[in-house]
């Protein structure tokens, strides 16, 4: 968005100068008029590219929420976007609101304007806004979009919460073991050798392991990132490897069931939102297939959608996929029989959302003592291997 250096006059005749971002001089004049200034002259001093590739999710949520409130209050779209542009505290927010304003002013619909920012708005959001414009339910659709995006943000936070603690504890355990093997154990090797007695097997194993750490520490430190990069590269290059990894994700002990519940909850919430806003069921399933990150569930949704296209009932189509729990199938049947499929899907999402909180609490309650026991066993073995020979020597000296 261009930045203008302007010269204006106030009502009492005082001259004001400054810089402000505006789409063009007419927009600049309108902005100054709001603060009781009359434009005298202006020139472009800088221009910011309107190409926005990404924005923080919370900022996108804020823009959509404010837009929904303004539209629901009866404020025209152009005026709403102008207010958002002027009130935005970040350059990206001003550019986004300004870009939408410019495209709508040129004759585009809101859906078309939003669609010109694919890096900001997902295909699902774009099509929901288009549907809201067609059906005349734009404020309600924007409200549902904001609610869904907030919920998805909470799910992402829950996932991070689930994985952060175990990762932190494992890093701490690794750091402690690395310190012991690199520094402490080598310091004690000479002392244990000078004891003049046979070194027990467990102590010899500890010394050998310590030597590996001392001589190949660079290899040990580089292995985790190399393994991760290798797995990601293989996953990107070979669909079969990616599919196997996604299968493992769903059956991984403790964490797998929680991840599956999160995926099911997002699928149900997205399909309910689309069905409620008037998007055809087949299209809704297509979008749900695209947003599902797990390829196993993605393929299951695709096969179910193909059955629905051929005339199979939605519940029967999903019942043939062993991946979906009986609860999901039962709720789909209830929705079909009552004609309130969106409510049944919303109930599925609510149930899993509540269950996810409880599952994460249980997983964290299990992981904490398990990792503590693992760390205790490692440290206990090290201390036993180090102190065992010393204790034997002291015992012999007493006798």
Reported as a single tens digit per residue, the pLDDT across 216-267 is 888 888 888 898 899 888 888 888 888 888 888 888 877 788 888 888 888 8
Continuous segment of H or E residues that includes residue 4 = strand 2-10
User: How far apart are alpha carbons 56 and 35 in whole angstroms?
Assistant: 30
Q: What whole-number distance in Å separates Cα of residue 44 and Cα of residue 369?
A: 63
Mean pLDDT to the nearest integer, 268-272: 86
Residue 193 has pLDDT above 70, yes or no: no
Per the DSSP assignment, residues forming a β-bridge with 265 are: none
Residues ≥6 apart with Cβ < 8 Å to 367: 165, 166, 169, 254
Average pLDDT score, the chain: 81
Clarify whether residues 365 and 320 are in a common domain.
yes
Residue 277 counted as domain residue: yes
Domain check: are 309 and 358 in the same one? Answer: yes
Tell whether 52 is covered by a domain. Answer: no
Q: pLDDT, tens digit, for every residue of 119-135? A: 788 888 888 888 888 87
Please tell me whether residues 220 and 101 are part of one structural domain.
Answer: no
77 and 33 in a common domain: no
- Give the whole-angstrom CA distance, residue 197 versus residue 47: 80
pLDDT band (50, 70, 90) for residue 204: confident
The pLDDT of residue 23: 65
- Is a pLDDT exceeding 60 seen at residue 136? yes
Q: What is the pLDDT of residues 211-225, one digit of tens each?
A: 888 888 888 888 888
111 contact partners, CB below 8 Å, separation of at least 6: 126, 127, 129, 130, 133
Residue numbers of the domain that contains 104: 57-121
Q: Percent of the chain, pLDDT > 70? A: 92
How do residues 283-340 score in pLDDT, each as one tens digit? 888 888 877 778 888 899 999 999 999 988 888 999 888 888 888 899 989 988 888 8
Q: Which pLDDT value is given to residue 10? A: 82
Whether residue 74 sits in one domain with residue 34: no
Whether the CB-CB separation of 287 and 130 falls below 8 Å is answered with no
> Is the same domain home to 241 and 347?
yes
Whether 133 is covered by a domain: the verdict is no
pLDDT band of residue 272 (cuts 50, 70, 90) is confident
- Asked whether residue 184 carries a pLDDT value surpassing 70, the answer given is yes
């Amino acid at each position: 968005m261009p930045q203008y250096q302007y010269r204006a006059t106030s009502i009492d005749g005082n001259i004001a100068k400054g810089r402000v971002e505006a789409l063009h001089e007419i927009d600049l004049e309108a902005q100054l008029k709001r603060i009781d200034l009359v434009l005298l002259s202006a020139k472009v001093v800088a221009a910011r590219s309107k190409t926005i590739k990404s924005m923080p999710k919370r900022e996108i949520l804020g823009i959509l929420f404010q837009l929904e409130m303004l539209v629901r209050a009866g404020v025209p779209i152009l005026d709403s976007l102008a207010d958002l542009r002027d009130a935005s505290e970040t350059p990206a927010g001003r550019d986004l609101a300004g870009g939408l304003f410019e495209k709508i002013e040129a004759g585009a619909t809101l859906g078309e304007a939003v669609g010109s920012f694919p890096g900001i708005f997902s295909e699902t959001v774009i099509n929901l806004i288009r549907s809201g414009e067609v059906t005349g339910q734009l404020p309600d659709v924007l409200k549902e979009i904001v609610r869904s995006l907030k919920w998805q943000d909470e799910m992402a936070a829950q996932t991070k919460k689930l994985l952060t603690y175990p990762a932190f504890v494992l890093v701490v355990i690794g750091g402690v073991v690395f310190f012991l093997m690199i520094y402490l154990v080598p310091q004690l090797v000479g002392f244990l050798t000078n004891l003049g007695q046979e070194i027990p097997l467990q102590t010899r194993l500890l010394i050998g392991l310590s030597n590996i750490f001392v001589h190949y520490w660079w290899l040990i430190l580089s292995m985790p990132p190399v393994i991760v990069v290798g797995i990601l590269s293989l996953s990107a290059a070979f669909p079969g490897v990616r599919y196997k990894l996604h299968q493992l994700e769903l059956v991984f002990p403790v964490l797998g069931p929680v991840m599956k519940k999160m995926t099911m909850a997002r699928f149900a919430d997205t399909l309910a939102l689309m069905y409620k806003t008037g998007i055809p069921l087949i299209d809704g399933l297509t979008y749900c297939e695209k947003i599902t990150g797990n390829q196993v569930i993605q393929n299951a949704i695709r096969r179910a959608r193909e059955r629905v296209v051929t005339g199979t009932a939605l519940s029967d189509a999903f019942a043939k996929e062993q991946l979906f729990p009986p609860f999901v199938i039962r709720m789909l049947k209830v929705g079909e029989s009552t004609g309130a499929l969106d409510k049944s899907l919303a109930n599925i999402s609510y149930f899993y959302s509540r269950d996810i909180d409880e599952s994460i609490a249980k997983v964290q309650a299990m992981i904490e003592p398990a990792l503590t026991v693992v760390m205790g066993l490692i440290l206990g073995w090290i201390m036993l291997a180090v102190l065992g020979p010393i204790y034997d020597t002291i015992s012999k000296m007493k006798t």
